[in-house]
Structure 1
């Protein structure tokens, strides 16, 4: 595994533990020789994970739209900052460059990003692991809701299992490193209800 894309909030969130875990993840990526690909900002959890990876000697690539550079949120200390024209270009380049994806706590942009790449995995567009770092139970209700979606026959259990989750950054990286994405059709038939 060469690079992992980390999606996260441009805010640090309410709990200090979010920043602590983001920093730990950035440090671990560098220590394990795994490059970080992320949204290119200097603020919030995005900045924390990047700063930690840089401080530990890791490879960090930021991808940011010009509109956000103009708002002065780009991380000016990155060794590799790629400026693109739109959010669509940003997500496409981040996905192309990465071998796996992790979502830290964040808002609707973070959710949209991890759900999009998870959908691509489900559809067979790529076979890259997708995961959430469930710091302080941040994703508990979402994970429970996804179980409900399975119960209601809108999502196969095998596809629900494609979204890995752990409360520990090191354990999550281990899970991602050993995970093999199953190849099973997305479509749910009437006999599976």
Structure 2
């Protein structure tokens, strides 16, 4: 039986110890719940911390990395499954296919690109999986303010805005990721 799989999008470059600790706590909680982690397949920064902590807790980890990032992001060779793709697009497609839910932690442009693609896919009916954004310590306040402005200007329909579940902390994030939530 394949366990419930959560894809985590997060930074592969920050050295902020608080953010790396946050990622490790996410990995630990995924393992505690008996879930599987799907990640970007790198063993650096937050991406590495979430996978290492998930494995330490006994979770099955799936890393998906494009071959041109194998050295740059230090491929997570300890992953239970390390899938190497030819392109970033293939990476994202495979991560989406292997996941039952998505959790976005703090990150940069790559993380944002993954979030926006997954969120848009859900809004357009390509999937019904939960898309959860952890706004830890207000990390995404500026982005969310802009998205709300776009909603007020009718550039982002309320139905699309509602498709993105924004949460302030880990307990709320994991409640939103629960398999029962996924069927809504």
TM-score normalised by L of structure 1? 0.88
Distance 2:120 2:73 in 1: 32
Distance 1:86 1:176 in 2: 28
> Which residue of structure 2 aligns with residue 148 of structure 1?
149
CA offsets, 1:79-129, max 9 Å, x none?
Answer: 211111111110000000101111111110100001001101111111111
Q: How many residues align?
A: 181
Deviation at 1:180, TM superposition (A): 5.5
Distance 2:117 2:75 in 1: 23
> Which residue of structure 1 aligns with residue 11 of structure 2?
9
Q: Call closer, same or farther: CA 1:62–1:141 in 2, change over 3 Å.
A: same
Matches within 5 A, 1:66-145: 66-71=67-72, 73-145=74-146
Q: Call closer, same or farther: CA 1:23–1:169 in 2, change over 3 Å.
A: same
CA offsets, 1:144-178, max 9 Å, x none?
Answer: 11111110001122221111122222221111224
Is it true that 1:32 corresponds to 2:10 in the alignment?
Answer: no
- Greater mean alpha carbon deviation, residues 166-175 or residues 49-58: 166-175
Any unmatched runs of 5+ in structure 1? 183-193
Distance 1:20 1:96 in 2: 27
> Which residue of structure 2 aligns with residue 63 of structure 1?
64
Deviation at 1:132, TM superposition (A): 1.1
Larger CA Rg, structure 1 vs 2: 1
TM-score normalised by L of structure 2? 0.92
Distance 2:73 2:130 in 1: 32
Given that 2:34 and 2:59 are in contact with CA atoms closer than 8 Å, whether structure 1 keeps it comes out as yes
**What SS class does the counterpart of residue 179 from structure 1 fall into?**
helix
Given that 2:62 and 2:81 are in contact with CA atoms closer than 8 Å, whether structure 1 keeps it comes out as yes
Distance 1:72 1:16 in 2: 18
CA RMSD of aligned residues (A): 1.6
**What SS class does the counterpart of residue 161 from structure 1 fall into?**
helix
Deviation at 1:11, TM superposition (A): 1.5
Distance 1:167 1:46 in 2: 20
Given that 1:17 and 1:135 are in contact with CA atoms closer than 8 Å, whether structure 2 keeps it comes out as no
- Greater mean alpha carbon deviation, residues 44-53 or residues 149-158: 149-158
